[in-house]
Structure 1
Amino acid sequence: MAEAAAPDRPPGAPRGVLAPLALAQFICSFAGSNMNVMINDISTDLDTTVQGVQITITIFLLVMAALMIPGGKLTDRYGRKRCFLAGLTVYGVGALLSAAAPGLGVLILGNSILEGVGTALLIPPVYILTTLLFTEVSSRARAFGTIMALGGVGAAAGPLIGGLITSGIGWRAAFVFQALVIAVIILLSRRIEDPLPPDPTRPFDTGGAVLSAVGLILVVMGILAADDNVWLMAGLLVLGALVLLWFFRWVRAKERAGKEPLLSTSLFRDRTSNLGLVTQNIQWLLLMGTSFTVAAYLQVVRGYDAIRTGVIFTAATLGLLATSLAAERLAQRYAQRALIMTGFVVTIAGIALLLAMVSGSPNPWAFAPGLLLIGLGLGVMLTPSVNIVQSSFPEERQGEISGLSRSVSNLGSSLGTAVAGTILVAGLSTHAYGAAMATLAVLGLAGLAAAALLPRGRARSRAVAS
């Protein structure tokens, strides 16, 4: 699929180079959502709780978000392909360790920590290499469309694939499946050539990396603590905000001293890019928040098994795949702003339908229309949001902006699972489900407002795709 989707390759992009990049995004997105249908199986087998599984998922997403900026920066120093392969290796080890986990602690080490670190190393090179190798308007739009399609499908199809594997073999086999896909990606990666040489003398801001990671971790931990202790939540959020403020002051001091910081403040001076980052964050927040909320509700409240829950999510997968693979045609006909706004409107409509299921039909397929709309909406806007941000900066800034972009997106995934999960585990019932979905709808409206502030007109759309 990935190879067929990119016939307009520029010089330097060998045949088949898109396949491993798109598969890498697929498996990382899959890892973030497939555990949603294993909640009951994992909690029973490892003698833990729904909250324990939720924490495992959230830590995985959080580690990705916290380390994505340093991961993007490391590509300049050690090379994009080298970081890509190193990340795949760490991820594969984590997947195998998770498959053999005797308890929740080892599962967190393998899935949350090692797979999270591996993802933070391998995902920035995916977007940097795509930007550098596919320089033509049509080829880059198609390449990003394919990568975002497989990423979205991985997140949306994670419950289905995970459900089939869990019901047919067991939840541990889902991690073996991840390891096998990683092995295939490593084999396919032989065709990738790094278009820019690494610069071993490039400085790395260790202090900035620690501060940014700690700040993000504290913020998400504060959200997770909301159902246990309001004062603890407030304390962690304030502390996280203070650490992030320290980080930005650290960056400014580095810049004034003429040194290279982890993240240049100039990345935040482009208004269009900033708005694009906001839309990216909320898009992944909605995808992962909806996935966790609906999956947990169907299994814990309605008592569906993993495979029945996964099959219901097929509607979201089909919707996301259909619109993501049409990204190039849509980009040629409509402005980026129009696509992103349309995507939010359709997604919010889907959430409204799912919200209506609180007291609606007991038929599980009644969830399909809402999930289909969410998939269609997200597929429409994922690619233009990435293209707006990624293409706003020159080649020499791709390491920084790729790390920032992926960090913002994965922070959205973390927040989606944390916010929706915190509301749910506070009381798994129809009322908690309704509150979680209503919260996601409000956040969707915030994303729509950010999209409405993007520049109008088709000129900007053509510029960001080049």
Structure 2
Amino acid sequence: MTETSKRLRAVLIPLALAQFICSFAGSNMNVMIHDISTDLGTTVHGVQVTITIFLLVMAALMLPGGKLTDRYGRKRCFIAGLSIYGVGAVISALAPNLGVLILGNSILEGVGTALLIPPVYILATVLYPDLTTRARAFGAIMAMGGIGAAAGPLIGGLITSALSWRAAFAFQALVILAIVLLSRSITDPLPADPTRTLDVTGTILSAVGLVLLVGGIQFASHNVWVMLGLLLAGALTLLWFFRSVRDKEIIGREPLVPTTIFRNRTSNLGLITQNAQWLVLMGISFVTSVYLQVVRGYDAIQTGVIFTSATVGLLASSLSAERLARRRPQRTLVMAGFVLTVAGIVTLLVLVGAFPTPWASIPGLLLIGLGLGVMLTPSVNIVQSSFPEPLQGSISGVSRSVSNLGSALGTAIAGTILLANPAGHGFLVAMVVLAVIAMGGLVASALLPPSG
């Protein structure tokens, strides 16, 4: 192994671990819902709101997070994000009530993630210039991200059962500390540009629009008129944002995101597939976890063990990303991933409905994990590779924002459907909705260019 290869591998380890812990944070609370709600005197819905706010803060701030990497540098933003995240994890571990938990987990960890994740993908893109090696890098990063999301219930369940839910946040803080130490080997390949400005108006409009959009879905089971009002307000705010971006470019000012980003058909379709993938992944994780705990009566560790099958499937397919990229077009891989995921959802519903044993969930979750692992890496590669280095900060922010918006929507949509009728057909309806969304992702992937 050459010296350059050793250096790149040393850089890849903290980047992959960073994606792991952020994805872990988005799913591990699913198996701690009962413990947290009992300890803090809140409800399942209260914990769902905490999870959704965390995902939403990430999605809302990922655009400015990506932009700040141009001004202050990739490594500096990476370390700053890790530090904020670590503080949030400590506060969450010590939280005396739901409000403090939201501050630590939803706000600080969300802000930290928005700062540290864009540099992960920018560094992987510029350090690995050709398709095959970049596929290997993205494969490792997405594998760790997928494992964090899929294994979050298992790891969280083990920690919660052995110690407490608070120890799971202490675990996050320790991992963050390890990443900071490992990050000393990272050298920023692109110089920071202090002359770059941040579009404050665009930042506010994009964040408010996304908050209103997901907030509207949260109200679906409470007040349909409030829901529709928030959704309309969110859509109008995002329209205002895009108009603001266009107007700034016309007068020669730098917008939050250049309109060039949204004119690339391949990238746009890739972004749709990313949104659908994370929506389905986080939706299935939340809905199945709640169903197993609330309806079937399983504890945190039993629920986590059941999810191991999804983790195994996701790990197996993600780690094959480099080999698959050499043998198959990326469009084919994304399409195959959606087909496997839909097949997994159908298998899960059939077997869970027919057999009362907890093991009935395993074949379906295994297929879902395999499907998601097959397509996560090529979707990211399609989007990131569609633009040159000067636009990597912008597209990385857009890509991660779209993915995290999918995560937030998955928890909000599927969770709202399930909690409206948890003991009845809520689980069935939520999973069918997720299968339909996955089919939408399949259609988008079929429209990608054959070489993409």
Q: TM > 0.5 between the two?
A: yes
- The C-alpha deviation readout for 1:46-93, integer Å capped at 9, x for no partner, is 111000010000000000000000000000000000000000000000
SS at 2:353's partner residue?
Answer: coil
Q: Quick check: 1:136 aligned with 2:117?
A: no
SS at match of 1:16: helix
Q: TM-score, normalised by structure 2?
A: 0.98
Contact 1:69 1:400 in 2 (8 A): yes
Q: Does 1:18 align with 2:16?
A: no
Q: CA shift at 1:424, angstroms?
A: 1.2
**Worse-superposed segment, 430-439 or 174-183:** 430-439
Match of 2:332 among 328, 333, 338: 338
Question: In structure 2, what is the equivalent of residue 350 of structure 1?
Answer: 344
Q: 1:184-263 alignment to 2 at 5 Å?
A: 184-263=178-257
Structural mapping, 1:24-423, within 5 Å: 24-357=18-351, 359-423=353-417
Shift of 1:136: 3.0
2:201 and 2:14 mapped to 1: Cα distance?
33
In 1, Cα distance between equivalents of 2:398 and 2:264:
14
Query: 1 CA distance for matches of 2:313 and 2:406?
Result: 21
**CA-CA distance at 1:13 after TM superposition:** 4.8
What amino acid sits opposite 1:329 in the alignment? R
1:359 shift after superposition: 2.5
- Give, in whole Å, the separation in 1 of the partners of 2:412 and 2:59: 13
Residues 1:9 and 1:388: Cα distance change in structure 2 (over 3 Å): farther
- Following TM superposition, by how much is the alpha carbon of 1:137 offset from its aligned partner in structure 2, in angstroms? 3.0
- Report the Cα offset of residue 11 of structure 1: 7.7
Distance 1:304 1:178 in 2: 25
Give the superposition deviation at 1:144: 0.6
| 8 Å CA contact retained: 2:352, 2:361 | no
Does the residue aligned with 2:195 lie in a helix, a strand or coil?
coil
Counterpart position of 1:3: none
Measured against aligned partners, the alpha-carbon deviations of 1:178-206 in whole angstroms (never above 9, x if no partner) come to 00000000000000000011011111101
1:314–1:12 CA distance, 2 compared to 1 (3 A): closer
Aligned-residue offset at 1:141:
1.2
Would you say the 8 A contact 1:160–1:314 is kept in 2? yes
Amino acid at match of 1:299: Q
Shift of 1:138: 2.6
208 and 9 in structure 1: CA distance in 2 versus 1, 3 angstrom threshold: farther
C-alpha distance in structure 2 between counterparts of 1:11 and 1:111, whole Å: 36
1:26–1:151 Cα contact (<8 Å) kept: yes
Residues 12 and 242 of structure 1, relative CA distance in 2, 3 Å threshold: farther
Cα deviation code 1:283-325 (max 9, x no counterpart) = 0000000000000000001110000000000000000000000
1:440 matched to which residue of 2?
434
Task: Confirm or deny: 8 A CA contact 2:315 2:373 kept in the other structure.
Answer: yes
Aligned residues of 1:12 and 1:195 also touching (Cα < 8 A): no
Asked if the contact 1:282/1:412 (under 8 Å) is kept, the reply is yes
Give the AA of the match of 2:83.
T
1:9 CA drift (Å): 8.2
Alignment check: 8 A CA contact 2:33 2:47 kept: yes
Contact 1:358 1:433 in 2 (8 A): no
Partner of residue 428 from structure 1, selected from 416, 419, 422: 422
CA distance in 2, matches of 1:347, 1:9: 40
State the alpha-carbon separation in 2 of the partners of residues 81 and 14 from structure 1: 15
String of CA shifts for 1:148-189, please: whole Å, max 9, x gaps.
000000000000000000000000000000000000000000
**Residues of 2 paired with 1:82 and 1:438: CA distance?**
43
Aligned partners of 2:8, 2:406: CA distance in 1, in Å? 33
- What is the deviation of 1:17? 0.6
SS at match of 1:226: coil
Matched residues in 1 for 2:245 and 2:89: separation?
A: 35
Residues 121-164 of structure 1: CA distance to partner in whole angstroms, max 9, x if unpaired? 00000000111111133321111100000000000000000000
Give me the whole-angstrom Cα distance separating, in 2, the residues matched to 1:267 and 1:24: 26
| Runs of 4 or more above 4 Å deviation | 7-15
1:10: Cα distance to partner?
5.5
Contact 2:352 2:360 in 1 (8 A): no
Mapped to 2, the partners of 1:12 and 1:128 lie a distance apart of: 19
Instruction: Flag structure 2 segments of 5+ consecutive residues without an equivalent.
Output: none
Instruction: Please report the RMSD computed on the Cα atoms of aligned residues, expressed in angstroms.
Output: 1.2
TM normalised by structure 1 equals 0.95
CA distance in 1, matches of 2:424, 2:439: 23
Shift of the 251–276 alpha-carbon distance from structure 1 to 2, 3 Å rule, reads: same
Structure 1 unaligned spans of 5+:
1-6, 462-466
Name the amino acid aligned to 1:294.
Answer: T
**Which amino acid letter does the alignment assign opposite residue 365 of structure 1?**
W
| CA distance in 2: counterparts of 1:181 and 1:156, whole angstroms | 17
- Is the 1:320–1:378 Cα contact (8 Å) retained in structure 2? yes
